[in-house]
Amino acid sequence: MTEPLVYDPSNEAIRTNPFPFYEALQERDPVHWSPAIKSWIITRYDDVRQVAMSSNMSSDRLRPFYEALKDERRDILSGVMRYLNEWLVFKAPPEHTRLRKMMNVVFSLQLIQSREVAIRKTVEQLLEAVDPSNEVDFMEKVAVLLPAYVILDMMGLPREDFAEIKQWSDDLRLFIGTSRSEEDKYRKARDGADRMSSYFRDVIAQRRSAPSDDVITAMVNAKDANGALSEDELVAMCMLVLFGGHETTTSLLGSAVVALIQHPEQKQKLHDDPALIDAAVEEFLRYDGPSNSIARVAAVDHELHGKKLVAGDRVFAMINAANRDPRRFDRPHELILNRTPNRHLTFGQGLHFCLGAPLARLEAKVCIGSLVAQYPAMRFGQGEVKWLDALVMRGPTQLPLVLG
């Protein structure tokens, strides 16, 4: 008799390698109720895409969660919700449309492309600082620092502030990105949001009095027919840009390196043909991407594969499962750097397509391309590869390597 499937993201085996479990869900229970997190788990490509774009689903999933909390926890999180409610990822039209148009102007493709030289220089500096003959944690020395420095530079913030900002960001991620029950995670999120918002209020005030050539000044000056961003919107957008600008790319870089070392023939192929790098980045995004899932709330009662989703039900559409769906991808569990077509869902669909996708792609292209060119023999060290304890995001937190 086949044992029933029970999805529990706190399970260490699932956290380390979720793909066999995703495959089983796709075959046996594509619309799966997880009692562990009291949510629906959707794993097939077409269904995940539908969840991302359907009017049956709402992206405003924090408000119902917040309203269902006990008074004490609502009080703790009121300051956090003040800003998270302004994040693009939790907005629906028409508010989303207004904010997205303004942010598209700030984060233009031209701006992103203009950063390539600076990104290459930062990659050079980080790799030069690593001793290739000794074991090093790639996450600590490169994958965390590169996207952080890039986004700090773009925002006109000192790199010296990163350690403090990273702690605030980690405290927020514990609340936003994990289903884990931790008694003090709400207080950590509150403290992180309080400190980060206070930091950005000071920076915004500085930019108003002394404008600079950076993203924060551009956001302060952004206007549409309805005027400029409010103070809370500005603070929230700074928080989102900083959070999204480094968390996702850090995970992408780490997972890409793991995939290459596990597939030495593909690593050699990229070394021999550097022009493959653009296609390779798309395959890294598909094969083991940084966006493990997107969260939605059922807006209305409806059915999917015979299961009734009730308005208010929480739904997790598993991006990484969809990206390995054999109904969409040939040989889905193989890393094929020149895969085509490769219509992965990692950066989302429709309204909520990731604003930072071009920047993440550019950073991965420069970093992974440089790494493979300089260190084609890179290999795992003796230490353990550890993975994020998160439901929404996926990537290594510790990655011991010997580069030379």
For residue 28, give both structure tokens. 């046996």
Alpha-carbon distance 333 to 115, whole Å?
A: 34
Share of the chain above pLDDT 70, in %: 97
Predicted pLDDT of residue 140: 97
pLDDT 10s digits, 262-312: 999 999 999 999 999 999 999 999 999 999 999 999 999 999 999 999 999
- Our measurement of the distance from residue 169's CA atom to the centroid of its chain's CA atoms, rounded to an integer in Å, reads 13
Q: Do the strands 223-224 and 227-228 form a parallel or antiparallel pair, or are they unpaired?
A: antiparallel
Predicted pLDDT of residue 182: 57
pLDDT 10s digits, 359-403: 999 999 999 999 999 999 999 999 999 999 888 999 999 999 999
Confidence of residue 180 (pLDDT cuts 50, 70, 90): low
Indicate whether 162 belongs to any domain: yes
Indicate whether 50 belongs to any domain: no
Predicted pLDDT of residue 399: 99
Indicate whether 386 belongs to any domain: yes
- Rounded to the nearest 5 percent, the helix, strand and coil shares of the chain are 55, 10, 35
Listed residue (390, 367, 373) closest to 319, CA to CA: 390
Mean pLDDT of the chain: 92
Q: Which residue has the higher pLDDT, 313 or 60?
A: 313
Indicate whether 108 belongs to any domain: yes
* Whether pLDDT at 220 is above 90: yes
Indicate whether 58 belongs to any domain: no
Position 96: which residue type?
H
Number of neighbours of residue 62 by Cβ within 10 angstroms: 20
> Mean of the pLDDT values across residues 318-332?
98
| Residue that is written with structure tokens 């003040």 in the block | 82
Boundaries of domain holding 125: 71-291+347-402
Predicted pLDDT of residue 362: 98
Indicate whether 303 belongs to any domain: no
* Whether pLDDT at 224 is above 90: no
Listed residue (151, 360, 361, 115) closest to 241, CA to CA: 151
Indicate whether 216 belongs to any domain: yes
pLDDT 10s digits, 49-107: 999 999 899 887 677 777 767 777 788 788 888 888 888 777 778 888 898 999 988 99
Alpha-carbon distance 250 to 340, whole Å?
A: 25
Phi, psi dihedral angles at 137 (to 5 degrees): -85, 105
pTM score, two decimals?
Answer: 0.93
Residues in the chain: 404
Show Cβ contacts of residue 235 under 8 Å, excluding neighbours closer than 6 positions.
83, 86, 197, 200, 201, 204
* Whether pLDDT at 1 is above 60: no
Q: Which CATH number does the domain housing residue 86 bear?
A: 1.10.630.10
Predicted pLDDT of residue 30: 98
DSSP 70: -
Confidence of residue 226 (pLDDT cuts 50, 70, 90): confident
- End-to-end Cα separation, the chain, in angstroms: 50
Q: Alpha helices of 107-230 — where are they, by DSSP H? A: 109-113, 116-128, 138, 145-155, 162-176, 185-209, 215-221
Alpha-carbon distance 13 to 33, whole Å?
A: 19
* Whether pLDDT at 162 is above 80: yes
Indicate whether 337 belongs to any domain: no
If one counts the domains in the chain, the total is 1
Cβ-based burial of 279 (10 A; exposed 0-12, middle 13-18, buried ≥19): middle
